[in-house]
Amino acid sequence: MLAAHTPVPETTLGRIHPPTLNNLLASLPADVQGRLLPEMELVSLSLGQVLQEPGTKWRYGYFPTTCILSKIYLLETGATAEIAVIGREGMASICLLMGGDSMPNQTVVKSAGYAYRVKGSILKEEFDRSPASQILFLRYTQALLTQMAQTAVCNRHHTVDQQLCRWLLLNLDRISTSELIMTQELIASMLGVRREGITEAAGNLQDAGLIRYSRGHIHILDRKGLEARACECYAIVKREFDRLLPNITAA
């Protein structure tokens, strides 16, 4: 069941937390921002909140600012696997612009925070009327597809240690701090591996001085060390985002 959204009142928070904290929104042409941003609503999203169930129609476009969203496939056995992670660089409901309106996967909040949402009909109207916006959103879609494809490759061919490094780096790119609040159970379900494998991999990274893990809090101590230990999958995804969306990744 979808959890209720919590709109944030027009207070000081709304004024110091503008939509342009989302890098995709900040990169839109000025005229599009002038029409679209006043239609957006700031919402507070909680850990584990389900934004969309598989096959159901999206009503809103979601643009994270401080939260992290996860696109997850649910198998008939009850097992899960994360196929994409979305933060302040993008949006969760790209299918609204592609004409599909729904996706066969679940979208869930895996790091609590804020996002802006706008009615799908308004977002689609701006997409249709602005060629510059179309190029921006289509390039983002291509970058997101690269992340999904590389995730599948990584989960099939690389070690749990390498997968965890990639996963940590992807999440780190989508927040403004060096701390992630994630339990080992959550990470295991995202990667589709046993919790014992995550416990061992996290212990290896901690012993190497790359992270500090305590009660669901992961502090990144050595980002360069994580990048060196990760497989090529993180670098491929990062390079594609930088190539297609230089203004976004530099924001």
**pLDDT per position as a tens digit, 88-132:** 999 998 999 988 888 889 999 988 899 999 999 999 999 999 999
The answer for residues whose C-beta is within 8 angstroms of residue 118's C-beta and 6 or more apart is: 36, 39, 40, 41, 60, 61, 63
| pLDDT computed for residue 44 by the predictor | 94
Mean pLDDT computed over 194-216: 89
Helices (H), ranges, 52-130: 95-98, 120-129
Residues 82 and 152: their CA atoms lie apart, in Å, by 9
| pLDDT computed for residue 241 by the predictor | 92
Greater confidence (3 vs 91) lies with 91
Query: Which residues on neighbouring strands pair with residue 44, listed in sequence order?
Result: 6, 114
| pLDDT computed for residue 193 by the predictor | 83
**What is the per-residue pLDDT across 120-166, written as a single tens digit (0 to 9) for each?**
999 999 999 999 999 999 999 999 999 999 998 888 889 999 999 99
Work out the mean pLDDT of the chain and round it to a whole number: 88
Residues 186 and 38: their CA atoms lie apart, in Å, by 35
CB 106 within 8 A of CB 27: no
| Tokens linked to 153 | 């490759």
| Tokens linked to 72 | 């997850």
In the structure, what pLDDT confidence band is assigned to residue 182 with cuts at 50, 70 and 90?
A: confident
What is the helix (H) or strand (E) element at residue 16, kind and residue range? helix 12-16
| pLDDT computed for residue 198 by the predictor | 87
Q: Is the pLDDT of residue 16 over 80?
A: no
Domains of the chain with bracketed CATH:
6-129 (2.60.120.10), 155-241 (1.10.10.10)
**What is the per-residue pLDDT across 217-239, written as a single tens digit (0 to 9) for each?**
899 999 999 999 999 999 999 99
188, amino acid identity: A
User: Quick one: what percent of the chain has pLDDT higher than 90?
Assistant: 60
Greater confidence (182 vs 33) lies with 33
Q: Is 62 helix (H, G, I), strand (E, B) or coil?
A: strand
Residues 45 and 112: their CA atoms lie apart, in Å, by 6
| Tokens linked to 42 | 């700031």
